[in-house]
Structure 1
Amino acid sequence: MTEQNFPPAWAPDQTFAEGRIGLTIRDSIATLAVQIPKKMNALDVHATRGMVEALEAAQASARVLMFTGVGGKAFISGADIGGFDDEKQQGSSFLDRQQVLADYPIPTIAVIRGYCIGGGLMTALNCDFRLAGTDASFGIPAAKLGIAYGFDGLSRLVELAGPARTRFLLYSGDRVDAQIALAWGLVEQLHTPDALWDAAMALARRIAENAPLSISATKETVAQIMCDPEQRDMQKIADLSMLCQNSADFREGRDAFREKRAPAFSGN
């Protein structure tokens, strides 16, 4: 697969933010792509707004969302700083839009080739899973730009990579390659560039075929577990478990198991 053909045969059904963001939905799998290859998919304020609009458009009919960048040279190379000059309180607005992705109710998979830098790494970390090509590289050049990342910007990185590795990335501003990113827990899987998309799509299909209510309950329960104990909503976890137990999908899963066939889940 050439860089120009990543994602393969990409032709978005919808575009947002004057073409900066593309979206397709096929067989309950949404693909959201940043498509600003001339700027290495750097995010400006319009792109982040378009990202939120695309997420909202996909939510009603998708069971899983793949997040990527077109062209193969960059997932997202960071924030286009100049592109935020026309918006007040730049940092909070960017973080607010990132929080929409972090709180997204359906599973999200970041599919990463090339540069995954700064705000791009934050975007990837706000997805549930990260699958990367062996050509990917990761870093946060904040110290080289005089930028300070706040609590929300760094908490997920510390959670996955640990405080020492977070300090290394932030203090040095250096990039690390895909093998180091895998060892540090920044990504879950590595694949050759030619195999990456098929591997990500296979994972998305497996998730989409499973019971949506069960997956939604798992996503929310894991999020509650990661909260501070005093902030956890234990009743919400219990309610989600009961919702699954009383669902048509639970009955379908049980019947399919007994009948030795693949279940057909409806999300009800």
Structure 2
Amino acid sequence: MTDLSFPPDWAPDTTFADGRIGLTVRDGIAVLAVQIPQKMNALDVHATRGMVEALEAAQDQARVLLFTGTGGKAFISGADIGGFDDDKQQGSSFLERQKILADYPLPTIAVIRGYCIGGGLMTALNCDFRLAGTDATFGIPAAKLGISYGFDGLSRLVQVAGPARTRYLLYTGDRVDAQTALTWGLIEQIHDTGVLWDEAMTLARHIAGNAPLSIRATKETVAQITRDPADRDMQAIVDLSMLCQQSSDFREGRDAFREKRKPAFTGE
């Protein structure tokens, strides 16, 4: 297990898609791992289906989800093009399953080592935060493969990196290193590979210790803000705010503040 991007004691307890996807949930933290190192963790249609199954399994068990890849050489190196040859509809199915990650109710953290290319970069961008090792590289070789990305595929990239940098990545198909990715907003943090996992776990534990309903409300409100005004569900924001105010966690947070102790939130 020494080739994993995380310590052996976090090795997946459950697998999906014939072992392509692994899942471990402990102490409110889920780790979803792409386990196809022989293909640099390139995702085929079966792996993306397994990813969805793992996300669904973790949703009711965890407060935070870490998304990573095994092998130490790639987060996700893109889509396994050969895995889509038999069915032209599978490409759109791949994108639909990516949207499930983008709309996932739990906070998500991508932990990136090595190649984060094409569909891998899109997967990382669909997470809330991206932490990368110094060995990470990022790119979208669409122009070198004769393919294109649609509105949903590029909207998040434009949002975080801007139109000009999106054009650069797509026009040239070149890769950028982790430091450039940090400057461009593709990632939030960069760490030496030896401490990357510890830094990711520290962030995950910090988030998991806060009130789940409050975090859920924040995630949904931010999502609504980034949508076109005509598509926003303002009532959903109001409902989530009321849910927080009426929750036992609100009372626990208030009491803990008064009593100068650490709150114990239950998500209720």
**Distance in 1, Cα, partners of 2:174 & 2:267:** 44
- The corresponding residue for 1:122 is 122
1:173-188 pair list within 5 angstroms: 173-188=173-188
1:137-148 pair list within 5 angstroms: 137-148=137-148
1:7 matches 2:1: no
Number of aligned residue pairs: 267
- The corresponding residue for 1:153 is 153
Deviation at 1:89, TM superposition (A): 1.1
- The corresponding residue for 2:45 is 45
> Is the Cα–Cα contact under 8 Å of residues 3 and 72 in structure 1 kept in the other structure?
no
> Is the Cα–Cα contact under 8 Å of residues 73 and 115 in structure 2 kept in the other structure?
yes
> Is the Cα–Cα contact under 8 Å of residues 45 and 87 in structure 1 kept in the other structure?
no
**Distance in 2, Cα, partners of 1:13 & 1:157:** 33
**Distance in 1, Cα, partners of 2:181 & 2:74:** 16
**Distance in 1, Cα, partners of 2:89 & 2:159:** 26
**Distance in 1, Cα, partners of 2:118 & 2:220:** 27
Residue type at the aligned position of 1:259: E
> Is the Cα–Cα contact under 8 Å of residues 64 and 107 in structure 2 kept in the other structure?
yes
Instruction: Judge which range, 224-233 or 182-191, deviates more.
Output: 224-233
- The corresponding residue for 1:202 is 202
Q: Spell out, residue by residue over 1:92-134, the C-alpha distance to the aligned partner (whole angstroms, 9 max, x if none).
A: 1011000110000000000000000000000000000000001
Q: TM-score, normalised by structure 2?
A: 0.98
Q: TM-score, normalised by structure 1?
A: 0.98
**Distance in 1, Cα, partners of 2:110 & 2:157:** 15
Secondary structure at the aligned position of 1:4 is classed as: coil
Deviation at 1:3, TM superposition (A): 7.0
**Distance in 2, Cα, partners of 1:15 & 1:213:** 29
1:249 matches 2:249: yes
Deviation at 1:5, TM superposition (A): 3.6
**Distance in 2, Cα, partners of 1:197 & 1:3:** 14
- The corresponding residue for 1:76 is 76
Residue type at the aligned position of 1:14: T
- The corresponding residue for 1:65 is 65
- The corresponding residue for 1:259 is 259
1:220 matches 2:220: yes
**Distance in 1, Cα, partners of 2:87 & 2:219:** 33
**Distance in 1, Cα, partners of 2:88 & 2:166:** 28
Poorly superposed stretches of 4+, deviation over 3 Å: none
Deviation at 1:87, TM superposition (A): 2.9
**Distance in 2, Cα, partners of 1:210 & 1:154:** 32
> Is the Cα–Cα contact under 8 Å of residues 5 and 68 in structure 2 kept in the other structure?
no
Residue type at the aligned position of 1:183: T
C-alpha RMSD of the superposition = 1.0
Residue type at the aligned position of 2:27: D
Q: Which runs of 5+ in 2 are unaligned?
A: none
**Distance in 1, Cα, partners of 2:113 & 2:133:** 5
**Distance in 1, Cα, partners of 2:266 & 2:213:** 9
Instruction: Judge which range, 244-253 or 2-11, deviates more.
Output: 2-11
**Distance in 1, Cα, partners of 2:108 & 2:200:** 11
> Is the Cα–Cα contact under 8 Å of residues 84 and 91 in structure 2 kept in the other structure?
no
**Distance in 1, Cα, partners of 2:180 & 2:211:** 34
Q: Which runs of 5+ in 1 are unaligned?
A: none
**Distance in 1, Cα, partners of 2:86 & 2:24:** 30
Deviation at 1:11, TM superposition (A): 2.0
Deviation at 1:255, TM superposition (A): 0.3
**Distance in 1, Cα, partners of 2:91 & 2:223:** 24
- Percent identical: 81
- The corresponding residue for 1:18 is 18
